[in-house]
Amino acid sequence: MSIRVDGVSHQYGGHGPVLDQIGLSVAPGKVLCVLGPSGSGKSTLLRLIAGLEQVQSGSLHIGDQLITAEKIVPTEKRQVGMVFQDHALFPHMTVAENVKFGMKSHDDMMLNSLLTKVELSQLRDRYPHTLSGGQQQRAALIRALANRPIAMLLDEPFANVDVALRMALRDDALSALRDSMTATILVTHDPDEAMLMADRIACLVDGRIVQEGTPKELWEKPDHPFVALTLAGGQLLRGSAANGRVETAFGTIDLPNPISGEVWLCVNKRDIALVPGEKAIVRDVRFTEGGNVVSVRAGDESLSVFSEAEEVTPGSSVDLLFKTERLHIFPV
């Protein structure tokens, strides 16, 4: 069964809306990532779905349950599992006891299957304080799944896990979630996590979803500066556009589409080439996998350029050549 959010808005006190006309849906076995900066409303959205905040306007559908301001369903009646940053395991219970606590009825076969799925079988009799952060988070995940929820809500679940362990934990979580056919909403501010885990990504900025799509769609065709900067590897360059061209600190660029006025150009560092010239100064050169990242400056504007050339040196003068078909343009 799926999760659906229709026209949900929410505010605290007399302040403006924290969420403004949110609409999204997640199918069984799929992961929707809600990506946004701190304060964008991500956690409020999860709290509404979980029943920790009351719906003020719009509606929620969790499986067959309809939830509105007039039709309230208590948290314990919603078939929702939740995993947060701090694991929230019971410290006086073993791993197995924590997982069994989440079950509607005792089922040794299911318990063993869940423990095996996330490689905790050998640790079933250990207490939470003896586990690593990654092991605690695995235990929290399968405890939430043990109740066979319709919806799983993950709030920055890997934020406190060492970088070296994060990839393996993400893989384990994805496998467990898809096997359970649970509709999952993951909130994060980490674009890499969103791109790696999500079937679809909803980008939330100032309480509004500014764009939603598959990771590939958002990478190739960002419709908002936040999306271009965060998911498409972009950097912003301001310019003044007219007659199919835009004047920037780095020179004149032909535009792929007609637009006039002050604009932001968003471009990936791999879509810029260094050529002989005098419009920009090389400020720094840093080695990275496969080449160098070159920092260049013109006036008050700075950009990073990926270059395989070895002869680029700080202090030298260059011009920039942009792949205009890869430019993303937004009005200021």
CATH of residue 310's domain is: 2.40.50.140
| pLDDT value, residue 33 | 97
pTM score: 0.84
| pLDDT value, residue 232 | 84
198 with 238, same domain? no
**303, 308, 330, 331: which is closest to 319 by C-alpha?**
303
| pLDDT value, residue 165 | 73
Give 229-268 as a DSSP string. Answer: HHTS-EEEEEEEEETTEEEETTEEEE-SS---EEEEEEEE
| pLDDT value, residue 305 | 94
Residues of the chain with pLDDT under 70: 86-87, 104, 310
107 with 11, same domain? yes
| pLDDT value, residue 144 | 84
200 with 299, same domain? no
262 with 159, same domain? no
149 with 282, same domain? no
**What is the extent of the structural domain holding 90?**
3-226
- The 8-class DSSP code of residue 129 comes to G
- Which residue's structure tokens are 């996330």? 118
| pLDDT value, residue 109 | 84
**How far from the centroid of its chain's Cα atoms is residue 265's Cα?**
23
62 with 193, same domain? yes
